Chain A
Amino acid sequence: MRSKVMVFPALLGILVIGLLAGCGGSSSSSGGGGGDEGTPVDGGILRAAINDNPDHIDPALSYTSEGWQILEATNNGLLSLKKASGAEGNKVVPDIAEALPKISDDGKTYTFKVRRGVKFSPPVNRDVKPSDFKFSIERLFRVNSGGLAFYKGIVGADEYAKTRKGGISGIIADDKKGTITFKLTEADGTFPMFMAIPFAYALPKGTPDKDISSVPDARVATGPYMVTSYTPKQKLQLRRNPSFKEWTDQSPNGHLDGIDIAIGVDPDAAVNMTVNGDLDWYFTAVPPARLTQLKAQYGDQVNDYQRNNITYFFMNERKAPFDDLRVRQAVNYATDRDALVKIFGGQGEPTENIVPPPLKPAYKKHEYYPYDLAKAKQLIKQAGVEGTDVSVWTRNQEPFPKATQYMASVLNQIGLNATVRVLDQSIYDDTISNQKTDPQIGINDWSQDYPEAGNFIDTLLNGNNIVSIGNNNQANADVPALNAQIEKANRMPLGDARDRMWAELDSEYMKQNAPLVPFLNASYPKFNGPNLRGLVFNPTYFELFPSMWLEK
């Protein structure tokens, strides 16, 4: 999932860094609001702000953390990620489904029983039916959802993607019995995750096949809040959904009466507003340049969350000199991960793993590449690639260029001849994901779509997923034995056995193939107003609006 681009605020942050330097001290927490929480109080309007429009407030189209935060409060799916922070928040739980799905022995059929009495908000005001879910999944294909790849494994989905007529044969909804069944072309243990992310949220049959973000009557909610007004580039307002009635503790009623979101407040301005008492909460992280001072002056209001993400350099296995394992290993040995973390403002933990720590037990720390420059030089010598020209690619968003400059210096130190290529943030991802560009080595980061190790290993390293454009496997790693292991893990049901397999794959990839130089699990520092309580950071939906409350 993407966070929105914030190049300009980053620049401003850098500009004021000199003014802020020298402030010491630190105070942070790893989830939840700071200080003594007390008893939740109902009422009040949260004064929130966001840098720019949320990409969409249509579950089919939104693909950013900002959009998902809003949708978590307004809409629901058959399943949900547990409305909790930390590792607990990575678990799939029933939402509008009465229970977790029944899975056939071959792992290809998922059957859900839909809870009765869950209502759509006005003007629809009726119970959610199984056929609404079928409609919503099919609508993904009709509105060209960015998330439809997650549902292409449903029988008939490929054909429906071509024709967009007649429905998806593999989704069988029975409104009388209250059941919905999904038939998959092959076993896929990840499917419950796909049903818990906003793309699979219920919209009533008849919702138009276009973005409903700006269509008030079509923005129908099932959750405790509904979007009552949206003026792009200016403001967005959430108020209580009058049709909502809590059905489990996973669908809480919420404490706030509403949320007013001012659009167009950049992260630096948000800090200023919060300090001035004009703002309770902001969507995205504190600019790195402001963090030290805020921790020193307003430590109780700063929360340092852990997200499921990694920042890494990929090394293209189809391009010399990185087609030689010894070179990829040499770069891993020569990289001082602590130095890179410092370049990122110390915001996060160094890592050599592909899977982020919060995804334990799929995360099992390994250390195959302790910093060893001599060994790296020796490997480069053995590979016979000294003096080879290398371009290291980066986006222009700070601190990526600095980290890339560091990597270029590392490559030069071990005997290669490296230069840095900087691209604008707006075109970087698309450019490096294109096989025509085919960069040798570059920096990138990956934040989860859903909280599962496969979203990292399968997406970033499965050779069967290599495509010519939009290629997420930028290392072009393609090890048939490991590809097969990934496919096997994907078929297994979610759980410990599957997680152990991901942990093994993480280890095997770095030991045998070393396609990446993972170096950082970035943290997510947030700064909120002094009266805001009940902060729960879920790795998928981020801070949950229904948990928040305002101290009077």
Chain B
Amino acid sequence: MIIFLAKRIVGLVAVLFAVSVITFIIFNVIPGGDPALRMAGRHPTKQAIANINKDWGFDQPLYKQYLAMMDHLFVKRDLISYQDQTEVLPTIARGIPRTLSLAIGAAALWLLFGIAMGVASGLNQGGWTDRVMTILAMTGISMPIFWLGAVLLYLITFKYRELPVLSWFPAGGYSPISDPVEWVRHLILPWITLSIVSIGFYARVVRNSLLETSSADYVRTATAMGLSRRRVLFRHTLRTSLIPVVALFGLDFGAAVGGLVILVEPIFGLQGVGQYAQSSVAHLDLPPLMALTLYGAFFVVVFNAVVDIAYAWLDPRTRDA
């Protein structure tokens, strides 16, 4: 296990290094992305641009600029935005609880409903339940997140304003510890928006996995031995059927925390890490973009590792792989 973890940590560092270099290079080859020109205002003078280049180190060779940025990010921890000169790391730190609130709640929804729908569908293969669940799952998968969020907000604001349970603002303004009821109430819409695609997708995966497992020899044997249907389902079929879900969940949760939230947070004004990323992209603001890209990559890599560990635990055959 120690060797496994050591390998993973080395891999994580390598991935983060590669991501940081690629992000830095992309930013520097984009035409029109000169930060000095932006800072110099609408009537830039040559002297002003020269001063900015000198003061901010933009006149240094690229590798020195890269090293300086890494120094400010990881050592001095005082990286500041080009756009508004605010500190990047405290802003990300303030956003993380909001982003996790969104991602954890949505993940709970998509796991709960995705598995429930998949099981209901798989146990009633070919029946009306299966058909309805399949239609619902495909509908969920087909709905673009940003569209769904905008439509939900429209409906709540203009059509069904009398529904207090769906009041949504301020979505990020409550704590699950000090005010759990309000926290849940105000995050319902963002959770639904973020989870709906995954619910459909997970339902399909669980259904197919359940059907495949149901026809396995050991399940047929268990049934032939006279075990109850319920016991066969929970002790034998479902446990194996959920192995792909574990793998998917790890990756999806990492991707949600590290990236997908960018589509949901701005719609609901959550001001988490995703909204920060969206705003930084819009302003081509390299320092937060660099920090946020590394943050996203970190979550994806870490959850990949968690998936591998969980997989190894659930399926001993994979441990030596």
Residues of A within 8 A of B (CB): 1-2, 5, 7-9, 11-12, 15-16, 19-20, 49, 52-56, 61, 63, 141, 144-150, 152, 158, 161-162, 164, 210-211, 213-214, 231-234, 262-266, 268-269, 271-273, 275-276, 278, 293, 423, 425-431, 434, 437, 449, 459, 467, 469-470, 472
A272 touches B40 (CB 8 A): no
Q: With A16-B150, A213-B85, A264-B269 given, is the CB distance from A231 to B94 under 8 Å?
A: yes
Whether, in the assembled complex, B298 has its beta carbon less than 8 Å from a beta carbon of chain A, the answer is no
Question: Whole-angstrom distance from the CB of B254 to the nearest CB of chain A?
Answer: 23
Instruction: Classify chain B's interface size.
Output: 35 or more
Q: Could you say which of B42, B91, B170 contacts A232, with CB atoms under 8 Å apart?
A: B91
Question: Whole-angstrom distance from the CB of A295 to the nearest CB of chain B?
Answer: 14
Whether, in the assembled complex, B147 has its beta carbon less than 8 Å from a beta carbon of chain A, the answer is yes
B153 touches A61 (CB 8 A): no
Question: In the complex, which of the residues A9, A147, A262, A275 has the most CB atoms of chain B within 10 Å of its own CB atom?
Answer: A262
Question: Within the assembled complex, what's the spacing in Å between the Cα atoms of A262 and B156?
Answer: 21
Contacts of A49 in B (CB 8 A): 269
A232 touches B84 (CB 8 A): yes
Question: Whole-angstrom distance from the CB of A60 to the nearest CB of chain B?
Answer: 11
A161 touches B269 (CB 8 A): no
Question: Whole-angstrom distance from the CB of B166 to the nearest CB of chain A?
Answer: 11
Interface string of B10-44 (1 = CB under 8 A from A): 00000000000000000000111110011111111
Give residues of chain B (29-70) contacting chain A, Cβ–Cβ below 8 Å.
30-34, 37-49, 51-52, 55
Can you list 18 A-B pairs, Cβ within 8 angstroms, ordered by A? A1-B42, A8-B266, A9-B266, A144-B55, A149-B43, A158-B47, A161-B48, A234-B94, A262-B170, A264-B266, A426-B33, A426-B281, A426-B283, A426-B284, A449-B43, A470-B37, A470-B44, A472-B42
Question: Within the assembled complex, what's the spacing in Å between the Cα atoms of A211 and B83?
Answer: 11
Q: Could you say which of B84, B87, B170, B267 contacts A55, with CB atoms under 8 Å apart?
A: B84
Question: Whole-angstrom distance from the CB of A436 to the nearest CB of chain B?
Answer: 9
B43 touches A150 (CB 8 A): yes
B32 touches A146 (CB 8 A): no
- 3 closest A-B pairs by CB: A146-B41, A427-B32, A470-B44
Question: Within the assembled complex, what's the spacing in Å between the Cα atoms of A211 and B147?
Answer: 38
Whether, in the assembled complex, B270 has its beta carbon less than 8 Å from a beta carbon of chain A, the answer is yes
Q: Given A53-B84, A273-B169, list of 15 further CB < 8 A pairs?
A: A15-B146, A16-B154, A19-B151, A61-B85, A146-B39, A213-B85, A233-B86, A264-B275, A268-B153, A272-B156, A275-B161, A276-B157, A426-B282, A427-B33, A469-B34
Question: Within the assembled complex, what's the spacing in Å between the Cα atoms of A15 and B150?
Answer: 8
Question: Within the assembled complex, what's the spacing in Å between the Cα atoms of A53 and B147?
Answer: 25
Question: Whole-angstrom distance from the CB of A434 to the nearest CB of chain B?
Answer: 7
Q: Which residue on chain A has the smallest CB distance to residue B282?
A: A5
A16 touches B151 (CB 8 A): yes
Q: With A144-B48, A427-B284 given, is the CB distance from A149 to B147 under 8 Å?
A: no
Question: Within the assembled complex, what's the spacing in Å between the Cα atoms of A161 and B158?
Answer: 55
Question: Whole-angstrom distance from the CB of A440 to the nearest CB of chain B?
Answer: 17
Question: Whole-angstrom distance from the CB of A138 to the nearest CB of chain B?
Answer: 14
